[in-house]
Structure 1
């Protein structure tokens, strides 16, 4: 069946308002981009099509929330259970890059300790307005043990690659239970094992957000 999958990963999109998180999500899930996109109010939640990686069928629950300070109260619930994150800044706005330390600290405080994090420099199509050098961002990523890509939600550059690489890395590093027979190596979870799910109340709240 089309809805069958081996694993379900919760991935969050974080970063300042206006860096393009909602358009990144729209480009990946619906191949859409809206120039007049408004700031996300509350939480937007999307489940894209399954991805097959090394024989595993994987679905991702992707959560996008507002970057404005007035929504910080939803932080704990938003991060809880996340095993992956895209930490997004706008290459044409230095302030969005300067805020990354705070976002990263918050993520690591609330999310799973082994979460896979990718630093994403969005709006790479605005090369003529670049305020954050690629090499500076790359050094930040290396210092903090992050994956790194520059993307453009406008023209689609690296959007699919960003999500696919995060999902693939989660698949590689996710913990597996120890073998019961004392043998070497871990035992892979059975088909249908869910890494992260939402309870009905949270899912309903998430779907209630707008873009």
Structure 2
């Protein structure tokens, strides 16, 4: 019997970016129009079965985006395999928020932490993105995906990106066509 591999995922971003809504959409297939604000850190997990039969436990650490809780976030980033940097595409300050949170992640991550930038609330904006946002995302060389927790657009795809990364300590380092 194979042991279940565990992947620690930390979810960071501004308050109101939709971090908790993304996790709720993934874990419970639901969307709350008025969710409670995360206080400090919230932890959830889900075991997903990959196409190759391997099981992965996603440890999902939902961080509070408010300024008063930001001092907690670096410790969770340090030991994470994946950092999901969630930005609210409908927020006029999303570029500044992306730059700020990317700096926090880069300052605190380990050499083995992957960053995925998540442009959330894509259902609330038109298809066109500002050239500044596009350039910054390209400059980071991080993976990028647009999601909507409300409509569930790309939720499964986002967490497939996370679960199917080739983590060096896992037996299978290459997974082809990973969708759970």
SS in 2 for 1:103: helix
Q: 1:117 to 1:51 in 2, by over 3 A?
A: farther
CA gap of 1:69–1:126, structure 2 versus 1, over 3 A, is: same
Alignment partner of 1:156 is 2:152: yes
Deviation at 1:53?
5.0
Check whether the contact 1:84–1:167 (CA below 8 A) recurs between aligned residues. no
Quickly say closer, same or farther: Cα 1:24–1:93, change in 2 above 3 A. same
TM value normalised by structure 1 = 0.73
Larger Rg: 1
Equivalent residue for 2:37?
Answer: 39
Moved more, 100-109 or 60-69: 100-109
The answer to whether the 8 A contact 1:116-1:166 is kept is no
- CA shift at 1:134, angstroms? 6.5
Task: Identify the residue that residue 49 of structure 1 maps to in structure 2.
Answer: 47
More strand by share: 2
1:116-135 equivalent positions in 2, closer than 5 A:
116-127=114-125, 133=129
State the partner residue of 2:142.
146
**CA shift for structure 1 position 175:** 2.8
Q: Deviations over 1:153-198 (max 9, x none)?
A: 00100011111112212xx2x335xxxxxxxxxxx659xxxxxxxx
Deviation at 1:55, TM superposition (A): 4.3
Which portions of structure 1, spanning 4 or more consecutive aligned residues, are displaced by more than 3 angstroms?
Answer: 134-139
Q: State the distance in 1 between where 2:52 and 2:7 align.
A: 16
Unaligned ranges ≥5, structure 2? 173-180
* Aligned residue pair count: 172
- Structure 2 CA distance, aligned partners of 1:107 and 1:9? 17
The answer for the alignment partner of 1:60 in structure 2 is 58
Residues 1:168 and 2:164 are matched in the alignment: yes
Secondary structure of the equivalent of 2:145? strand
1:18 deviates by 0.3
Unpaired runs of 5+ residues, structure 1, are: 177-187, 191-211
**Aligned counterpart, 1:79:** 77
Tell which has more relative contact order, 1 or 2 (C-alpha 8 A, sep 6+): 1
